Amino acid sequence: MHPARRIICSWCQKPLNKAREKKPQTMLRFLKSGDIFCFKYDDHTYCFGRIMSKVIFHIVEIFDYTSDQPIITGKDILRSGRLLVTPLDTYSLFDRKSEGEWRIIGRQEDYTLPEDAAEFWFSWGDRTDCRKSNPLDQTGYKDGVICELAKTLLKYLDGMKEFYEKHIPDAVESYNNFEGVLGMYGVAPCSGCRSMEHNGCSIEGCFLLECTKNHNIDFCGECDEFPCKKTVELFEEEVYKQWLEGNRQIRDYGIESFWENNSGTPHYKSYKK
């Protein structure tokens, strides 16, 4: 297990053994690798762990250490060892606080993944699109299904253009157009609406990223003003309906349930009449 070094309280910037008895909500986008958390096992016992990384979900390690207080020191972590590594529904536990008593109590600022991180694998997704990832996200969902498939297809089409030029010259122009579209999809600049960037956003004047930050929320569905009139003017009809229904599901059932129910649905299906 990677040694714990400089571990401080995320509330008061003091050593963890001096952390205050406070249970703040921690929004999903503020959770970071190296965050130290505790959870209440029973009325007299607290358990502890650390966020290792984020793929689609957060992957955490649970320490082999308990206490009757929500306090752990760097020395405690070094001596404790590891019980398990597991994906965790951090949105429900830390952001929504919908189950049990879970809280971030500090952060290891210089945290890096331990050497054995690549050995822990998890399967996720649905029957039509199941993937395998480890804490290093070595085979994870980084650039999206369409982007990854386009790059893979381009790889296996190497030499196809020359084949067309030699044997089917009348179809070369059509093939060039096809390969051009694949190339565009394979280098898509969009990093997602929640990446804190606006890379290649196709919605002109989109204000949702700044708006959610200003309202101190993660999703529009968490806002007291949802659904607001501003979004009606921002989106075209198909996108608005998708945005509205998606955020209603997030509000009513949580982000993990939303992901499980929608991860296999084609993103542009709403345009199909």
* 152-181: pLDDT as tens digits: 898 999 999 999 999 999 999 998 888 888
Looking at residue 35, its pLDDT comes to 94
Residue 106 bridge partners (DSSP)? 36
What burial class does residue 75 get, using C-beta atoms within 10 Å of its C-beta: 0-12 exposed, 13-18 middle, 19+ buried?
A: exposed
Looking at residue 8, its pLDDT comes to 44
What burial class does residue 260 get, using C-beta atoms within 10 Å of its C-beta: 0-12 exposed, 13-18 middle, 19+ buried?
A: middle
> Among 200, 240, 238, which Cα is nearest to 220's?
240
Looking at residue 12, its pLDDT comes to 38
Looking at residue 261, its pLDDT comes to 82
Cα–Cα distances (Å) from 116 to 1, 2, 137, 141, 201, in that order, read 8, 9, 14, 21, 37
Residues of the chain predicted below pLDDT 70: 1-25, 56, 124-132, 137-145, 187-202, 273
Phi, psi of 192, deg, nearest 5: 100, 145
Are the CB atoms for 54 and 30 separated by under 8 Å? no
Provide the token pair at 124.
Answer: 């996720």
Looking at residue 6, its pLDDT comes to 47
Looking at residue 39, its pLDDT comes to 95
Cα separation, 155 vs 159, whole angstroms: 10
Output the DSSP codes for 9-50: -TTTSSBGGG--S------GGG--TTEEEEEEEETTEEEEEE
What burial class does residue 54 get, using C-beta atoms within 10 Å of its C-beta: 0-12 exposed, 13-18 middle, 19+ buried?
A: middle
Phi, psi of 64, deg, nearest 5: -85, 65
Phi, psi of 135, deg, nearest 5: -60, -20
Model pTM score: 0.50
Cis amide prior to 189 (ω within 30 degrees): no
Looking at residue 206, its pLDDT comes to 80
